[in-house]
Amino acid sequence: MRTSYRYILVCLLFITSSCSTGKFLHEGELLLDRVEVTTDNPDIAPVELQTYVRQTPNARWFNLFKAPMHLYCLSSPDSDKGFSHFLQKIGEKPVVYDPLKAEKSRQEMQKMVRNMGYMSAHVSVNEMIRKNKISISYVIDAGNPYYVRHLAYDIDDLAISRLIANDSVHSGLHEGMMFDVVALDKERTRITKMLLNNGYFHFNKEMISYQADTVRGSNQVDLMMRLGFPDSRSQLPHETFLVSDVVYMLESEENDCVAYDTVAVSGIKVLSKNDGYLRPNVVAEFNRIQVGRLYDESAVQQTYASMARLKALKYTSVRFEEDTTGHQRQLRAIAVLTKAKNQSVSFQLEGTNSAGDLGAAASVTYQHRNLFRGSEALSIKLRGAFEAITGVREGYENDNYKEYGVESSLNFPQFMFPFLSSGFKRSIRAMSEVGVTFNSQVRPEFTRTLSSASWSYKWTAQQRQHRFDLLDVNYIYVPYKSEAFKKYLDEMSKHNSILKYSYEDQFIVKMGYTYTYNSAGNTLMRLPSRTSHSVRVNIEESGNLLEAASKLIHPEPKDKVGYTLANIHFAQYVRGDFSFTQNWMFDQKNFLVFHWGMGVAYPYGNSKVLPFEKRYFSGGPNSVRGWSVRALGPGSYRGSSEGAVSYVNHMGDIKLDLNLEYRTHLFWKFNGAVFVDAGNIWNIREYEGQSGGLFKFNRFYQQLAVAYGLGVRFDLDYLILRFDSGMKAINPMEEGKDKYPFLHHDLSRDFCFHFAVGYPF
């Protein structure tokens, strides 16, 4: 392994030393080497001013090597064909220093700092030239900030003046505040939004202005907000508009109204043809513009958001027609709903490789986005898989692995639950989903059937997502186990009490809630555009309602072991998971990401062991990447390589993951990463056959596995393909010098390669 690292280092040195940027520079030109922003005021963050830098140097791998530029320099400056074209495409052209862009950056940066309240601030540009390279430093001398001494308002329109006065509690301006132009602009935006939501259809932010007078000999400002009449010559006040009519058209051709039927529902009109693709009551339920009310801009935006939840629609357009003939100005809202494609069929083919056993899988998915003319989305997926298994023991009936199944879901755009008011349904904006799944697995050792049915709700509020699983029923049925496999389970059960339990019939009836917050939106498949963080919390429980119902019928279980449903034991447990991710953005091409994840599950009452599907495992592409999936832990348990199902031993009730990953852009569509992972799993109880797996506060930190490695990501815009190579650094499953493989590398023992889609966290 050390030899491979030396080889990589030699390659990097060769790339960075064997090419010259001079052949791409003309006489008098300088290569922009570094750019930094410094300030004498700790309240001004240099990173906030980086966006005003108009010229940045060439990207560095991991902020160290300008490898993309050096790749470009390996090409010929006189040719853009063949291998030179390839190098120029994947590389990055040297950035030639432009003093005009530097001066423009300085001016914009200085303007921004002054707008922050430092009105005497000055930004200078320091240049340091070394041979044909130049480093630029923007030095900010902020000076003393200015404060608002006196705040006054000059508003000619009395109605608007009263509205602003009544809403003064939400004002962002006050005497004693810093004279911050950004804060002043936010106040203009806030007032404009408030007036647009109170009928002032024609109001805009440019109608609000400020007058600021500095007080001589001090750092104080007298500030006045001005809001005059829209027509200063006639001094007519701003007018409010009333919504007189709301019309929805279920076709894109607005003028073709002859063949349309008009239905009045809930105060609005719905125009559709005889085969209208949406029921009028559905349109009314998702409409937020109310007839007889003053114009409300927020209601228009809420209407757009509501209609966007209807998968039967391609897009929505809302416009307003004015009627100024009467004393009260009126608006007629016309919304055009364009139909989306109702049905689609997709086919997917994939190859599989499980520990060297090759196979293939195929699936067909059918979707209907408007099943009952209420934008109900039906999805049915048929999947089949086959895998040729090698090394099968004697006594097994089958030689291969076969799987087939069907997954179906029906999604409703409303909160489908009885006795709920329409106002509550509108406010929560939830989606309801019914799901049914059937999966059959035929292996040489056993045949297993998994069936499930679920009812859940999902809703989103800004960057927050919620999911509530009202009911999720899972039935695991094992109709066949070969005689050889039964003997194997009986023999292994003497050493591992949970192995046999994992292959028994079982009911899981659970409820759960999941909360997710992401300050940068959904970035699992993308690099975020700024520093951000995300939090995910999941809580679920199973079996409590069934146990309560069982005790009403039988105070004590018949077999003194546990209650059953249709002669099948049902699971009872509680489980909680927490995940936190922090992303620090150094620039557009360099990120540092920290992830912390943990989970605890506790079986009780009717269960002595967690169901197989609910137990934790460690290792793999999204955990400690020095180990393969289900190959680490629990604790210091060493495991056994015997048997086709030894992975069952590497599962537990508690999980902890700690990850630190530096991500950088390499070239073209390739991104790179260097990472350090730590974590493990443990048991809550002492299970026979998993010695060293019990969680103890005084030693769990000594059982943390540590791995490090390198990764490459191929960004296809719509898909991220990830390749990670991990090396064990600390192995709690070993003792002596073998516990610290980073001191004694063995590539065949310590190396693990992973392929995955999307980022790990």
- Read off the pLDDT of residues 142-172 as tens digits, 9 standing for 90 and up: 999 999 999 999 998 999 999 999 999 999 9
CA-to-CA distance for 99 and 134, rounded, in angstroms? 11
Alpha carbon 455 to chain centroid, angstroms:
23
| pLDDT at position 523 over 50 | no
Q: How high is the pLDDT of residue 643?
A: 47
Tallying the residues shown for the chain, one arrives at 761
Q: Per-residue confidence at 505, pLDDT binned at 50, 70, 90? A: confident
More confident residue, 6 or 396: 396
Mean pLDDT confidence for 536-565: 82
Class of domain 147-227: alpha beta
pLDDT tens-digit readout, 459-476 = 987 788 999 999 999 998
Predicted local distance difference test score (pLDDT) of residue 2: 47
Predicted pLDDT of residue 354: 55
Residue 224 CB neighbours (<10 A): 14
Query: What is the pLDDT at residue 408?
Result: 96
Residue 293: what pLDDT?
95
How far is it, in rounded angstroms, from Cα 689 to Cα 496? 4
- The structure tokens 């630029």 sit at 136
Mean pLDDT across the stretch 671-696? Answer: 90
Give Cα separations from 675 to 376, 659, 719, 729, 755 (angstroms). Answer: 44, 7, 21, 12, 15
Torsion of CA 23, 29, 32, 36, to 10 degrees: 170
Predicted confidence (pLDDT) at residue 244 exceeds the cutoff of 90: yes
pLDDT digits (tens, 9 = 90+) for 90-116: 888 889 999 999 999 999 999 999 999
CB atoms within 10 A of CB 68: 22
How confident is the model over 690-705, as pLDDT tens digits?
888 899 999 999 999 9
Q: Which is it for the CA torsion 78, 83, 89, 94, positive or negative? A: negative
Whether 455 has a pLDDT exceeding 90, the answer reads yes
What is the predicted pLDDT for the residue at 550? 82
Mean pLDDT, the chain, as a whole number? 85
- Domain map (residue ranges) of the chain: 2-141, 147-227, 241-339
**Pairwise pLDDT comparison (246 vs 734), residue with the higher score:** 246
Q: Are 636 and 618 in contact, with CB atoms under 8 Å apart?
A: no
What pLDDT shows up at residue 352?
Answer: 58
Architecture of the domain delimited by 2-141: Roll (3.10)
Q: Rounded to two decimals, what is the model's pTM?
A: 0.81
pLDDT at 125 over 70: yes
Per residue in 422-445, pLDDT (tens digit) is 777 777 788 999 999 999 988 877
Residue 1: pLDDT above 50? no
Q: Is the confidence at residue 316, as pLDDT, over 90?
A: yes
Q: Mean per-residue pLDDT for 338-351?
A: 86
Looking at residue 646, what is its pLDDT?
Answer: 57
Q: What's residue 5's pLDDT?
A: 45
- Report pLDDT digits (tens) over 252-283: 444 454 567 888 998 999 998 766 789 999 99
CA atoms within 13 A on the CB side of 636: 14
pLDDT exceeds cutoff 90 at 493: no
Residue 484 pLDDT:
78
For the chain, count helices (H), then strands (E).
13, 29
What are 732-745's pLDDT values in tens digits? 988 888 889 988 87
- Confidence band, pLDDT 50/70/90 cuts, at residue 528: low
pLDDT exceeds 60 at position 9 = no
Identical fold for domains 2-141 and 147-227, yes or no, is yes
User: Is residue 560's pLDDT more than 70?
Assistant: no
Q: Where are the alpha helices (DSSP H) in 535-639?
A: 544-553
pLDDT confidence of residue 83: 82
* pLDDT (average), residues 585-593: 85
Determine what percent of the chain is predicted with pLDDT higher than 90. Answer: 49
Whole-number pLDDT of residue 398: 62
Which range of 16-20, 68-72, 373-377, 545-549 scores highest in mean pLDDT? It is 373-377
Mean pLDDT, to the nearest integer, of 338-359?
Answer: 76
Beta bridge partners of 712: 672, 723
CA distance 632 to 627: 6
Q: What's domain 241-339's superfamily in CATH?
A: membrane protein fhac (3.10.20.310)
Confidence (pLDDT) at 524: 45
Q: What is the pLDDT of residue 555?
A: 75
